[in-house]
Structure 1
Amino acid sequence: MPETSYGVSEFARFLFGRQARRRWLHLIIGGALAMPYVFVGQLVVGPATDSRYVFNDLPLQLLSFAVGLPLAAVTAVLFPLTRPLEAGAVRWLCGVDRDRLAYGPARTRDAKGRTAAWFTLHLGVGGIISGMSLAVPPFAAFLVALPVVALVNRGWLELPSALDHTWVFALGPVAGVAILIALAVCAAGSGAFLSRWAPALLGPTPEDRLAAAEARAADLAVRNRLARELHDSVGHALSAVTLQASAARRVLDTDPEFVREALAAIEDTTRRTIGELDTVLGVLRDGDAPGTAPAPTLAADLDGLLRRTRASGLRVQATLTADPDALPPVVSREAYRIVQEGLSNALKHAGDGVTVRLRTAVADGHLEITVENPVACAPECRPGGGHGLRGIADRARLLGGTTQAGATQGTWRLHVRLPMKGPA
């Protein structure tokens, strides 16, 4: 018995539940949208059949409906916005997941063809269910009320001769209820049918999926770029400022001159970092925002980077056999970030008073950057570390270069080769 009641409740929910009612509304909207095309069809069918009263002839009305549906298909082809409008209605009224529908205008031939098929199907099925929804309930209500009508009728209502039977009056209410249930079954079945076909006809085409994948890839590339810029600029500045403040605190009473230099370096570092942060945030807000400070380059900003690093107490020996001014702008910019991250790793892992050797050279059309320092702990062994090395590898890969990093006999060595001319 519980299984039977459960089945009856499920069937009742299928016919009259919230989802069924919303799908029924979707079908009625389809019938309303079909009306203008039916009127146009009547203008064609009336003269063609030499009939002046198309409205009073059911076969001619159905013929007008059939003539109007191809016009609806043409409308869907001519107006690309039909697809997002229909997809929105299907999502809200038919309960189809958003991920299974395409919301952009139909641009390709395949997308337009499928949209036209859906629009024709929606208006065709919706028109039939709408007509049934208008005609069936009054007739069913008459059948349900037929016994009462027979009892109170005093001759003022002329009933058909076919109703002059007792069994007709007895079965009238049953037939009326059965007709209403049949209408609900047709509406629920049609709504489920349209919901099933909506993803196939309104879903994304292969071109839509490719465009969405490209958009996601572009968004991910921008996010990775911003992450690299923030890590390299702000991360290096925080490491440098921390070590500068620590070194100044230790010699506060014995070497005031060094303390003044450290405080000046901290001020210069934070000021430059704020400017770089504004640049990154400007890119995040407006793409390449006008009026923001230009990104630092090896040619213009290497000396300042070395000076601020040395102010933290780290000895840096720099050997440049490449002319920074002769580097392409994109190579100069990425090379600066690579050198900055290499020095930042030295600040974090090498300790105070350790010598870092920085060499830049041009060999066989490549810019070679080498950063070496004695280290007790490689960047990978720090919990949560390694993001900087991945950022360096990403920068080199985008330029068509290579990266090698690792510890050998107590020395950490970072070696990067960047082509002077390569993919942007």
Structure 2
Amino acid sequence: MTELSRFLFGRRARRRWIHLILGGALAMPYVFVGQLVVGPATDSRYVFNDLPLQLLSFAVGLPLATITAVLFPLTRPLEAGAVRSLCGVEAGLLAYGPARTRTAKGRAAAWFTLHLGFGGIIAGMSLAVPPFAGFLAALPLLVWLGGEELVELPDALDHTWVLVLAPVAGVATMVALAGCAAVCGSLLARWAPALLGPTPEDRLAAVEARAADLAVRNRLARELHDSVGHALSAVTLQASAARRVLDSDPEFVREALAAIEDTTRRTVGELDAVLGVLRDGDTPGTAPAPTLAADLDGLLRRTRAGGLRVTATLAADAEALPPVLSREAYRIVQEGLSNALKHAGEGVTVRLWIEVADGHLRITVENPVATARECRPGGGHGLRGIADRTRLLGGTTEAGAARGTWRLHVRLPMTGPEDLPVKGPA
């Protein structure tokens, strides 16, 4: 009995009843249009006072509701929002984007028609049944107050039994109304995921959007790792080297502090530019992305200020490189030098080559590695970031240790002129 009472009059049942009444309200304009058709067709002046003609007008207007749902793609998200709030359907089972495909429009139109159809019936019953049920419940009181002159009862019926059963009939009528509303609401809630849920095309679009979002996030993660990670490694080694020679080599200390200042200033600008993309409603930072042409010399100077000897050979005109290639190549060189700073050990020389050959920009970084640090299977996040950047540009990456030397070799296809002027050591 408790379950039945909850099914008929519980909170969910009441909210679904409201949803049906809203459907009836939405159906009224279509019913009025139907009356404009039915009236002249049946030569009736008072369609509103004739129940069969009203039902016929309702039947004529429903196809117009179907057409409306097909023509207006926003019908689906509006209906999905109402179903989620009033019918108790889980949000993940519904689609909230406009219906774009033929399948999605057909499902949305079917749902809209069912909602208005069931809603029109239940709304009409909700207007007519309660007054009638109230009259039946109050019939004995009316007869007692005013006599049979106030309420005329049919002579063919036993008036005593009519007065006894009338209140029971009134209550039963209200229960029947609640039952009809509960059943219709349950049916709509069961059909909603199939008709308002995402179609295969919607799921594919959602997967593509998520993949694009993940690609952006991965790119931001690579930018943060390459810029901030390199800066922290460089600043740590620069500060360590300056501390060791603080009393014996003041000039080197001044250079290291200047490099630390330059590194942190540039990194803060890059960090602001990247984080600006992540802040909702914020404007991305305006710090330009570093390139080989703009900052290779500065990168080498800051790396050397950390006490690492770097021999660099630039056999390509950095100014002539395409901007995208120059930017990604800078990050690759930065990460290669960062790895050398962290893993090469002290008192070693790092060799860097940047050249153009066979239509490719070739970047090679070599440095000795300490015996205890040679085995790093798969490398760290930096090597994965280099591999990702190279793959997006259609290039190849080779990295590994052999005979005590760590070697990183990257080949990036050129998108600009292949015959670039050669420069000497940097």
TM-score, with structure 1 as normaliser: 0.91
Structure 1 SS opposite 2:150: coil
Tell me: CA distance 1:378–1:12, structure 2 relative to 1, closer, same or farther (3 Å): farther
One-letter identity of the residue aligned with 1:197: W
**CA–CA distance in structure 2, aligned partners of residues 288 and 380 of structure 1:** 40
One-letter identity of the residue aligned with 2:134: A
TM-aligned CA deviation for residue 319 of structure 1: 2.5
Counterpart pick for 1:124 among 113, 117, 121: 117
Structure 2 SS opposite 1:169: helix
- 1:141 pairs with 2:134: yes
Q: Which moved more, 1:311-320 or 1:159-168?
A: 159-168
Render the CA deviation track for 1:256-309: whole Å, top value 9, x for unaligned.
111111111111111221232233244546999798232111222111111110
TM-aligned CA deviation for residue 145 of structure 1: 2.9
Q: Which moved more, 1:289-298 or 1:59-68?
A: 289-298
TM-aligned CA deviation for residue 208 of structure 1: 2.3
1:16-415 aligned at under 5 Å gives the runs: 16-154=9-147, 155-284=149-278, 292-376=286-370, 377=373, 380=376, 386-415=380-409
**CA–CA distance in structure 2, aligned partners of residues 289 and 177 of structure 1:** 64
One-letter identity of the residue aligned with 2:288: P
Tell me: CA distance 1:287–1:173, structure 2 relative to 1, closer, same or farther (3 Å): closer
Render the CA deviation track for 1:50-98: whole Å, top value 9, x for unaligned.
1112122111110011011111112222222222211111111111222
Tell whether the 8 Å contact from 1:345 to 1:379 is kept in structure 2 after alignment. no
Q: Which moved more, 1:347-356 or 1:122-131?
A: 347-356
**CA–CA distance in structure 1, aligned partners of residues 18 and 272 of structure 2:** 52
Tell me: CA distance 1:50–1:329, structure 2 relative to 1, closer, same or farther (3 Å): same
Structure 1 runs not aligned, ≥5 long: 1-7
One-letter identity of the residue aligned with 1:42: Q
**CA–CA distance in structure 2, aligned partners of residues 203 and 379 of structure 1:** 51
Counterpart pick for 1:418 among 392, 399, 412: 412
Tell whether the 8 Å contact from 2:272 to 2:285 is kept in structure 1 after alignment. no
Render the CA deviation track for 1:15-59: whole Å, top value 9, x for unaligned.
111111100000000001111111111111111111112122111
Report the number of matched residues. 413
TM-aligned CA deviation for residue 172 of structure 1: 2.5
Structure 2 SS opposite 1:417: strand
**CA–CA distance in structure 1, aligned partners of residues 354 and 387 of structure 2:** 17
**CA–CA distance in structure 2, aligned partners of residues 57 and 290 of structure 1:** 65
Structure 2 SS opposite 1:416: strand
Tell whether the 8 Å contact from 1:349 to 1:379 is kept in structure 2 after alignment. no
Q: Which moved more, 1:17-26 or 1:150-159?
A: 150-159
Quote the residue 2:423 is aligned against. none
**CA–CA distance in structure 2, aligned partners of residues 71 and 223 of structure 1:** 46
Tell me: CA distance 1:290–1:145, structure 2 relative to 1, closer, same or farther (3 Å): closer
TM-aligned CA deviation for residue 205 of structure 1: 2.5
Tell me: CA distance 1:378–1:333, structure 2 relative to 1, closer, same or farther (3 Å): farther
Q: Which moved more, 1:330-339 or 1:367-376?
A: 367-376
**CA–CA distance in structure 1, aligned partners of residues 280 and 322 of structure 2:** 25
One-letter identity of the residue aligned with 1:213: V
Tell whether the 8 Å contact from 1:282 to 1:292 is kept in structure 2 after alignment. no
Structure 2 SS opposite 1:204: coil
TM-score, with structure 2 as normaliser: 0.91
**CA–CA distance in structure 2, aligned partners of residues 300 and 288 of structure 1:** 27
**CA–CA distance in structure 2, aligned partners of residues 177 and 151 of structure 1:** 20
Q: Which moved more, 1:231-240 or 1:357-366?
A: 357-366
Tell me: CA distance 1:201–1:35, structure 2 relative to 1, closer, same or farther (3 Å): same
Tell me: CA distance 1:39–1:289, structure 2 relative to 1, closer, same or farther (3 Å): closer
Tell me: CA distance 1:286–1:24, structure 2 relative to 1, closer, same or farther (3 Å): closer
TM-aligned CA deviation for residue 378 of structure 1: 5.1
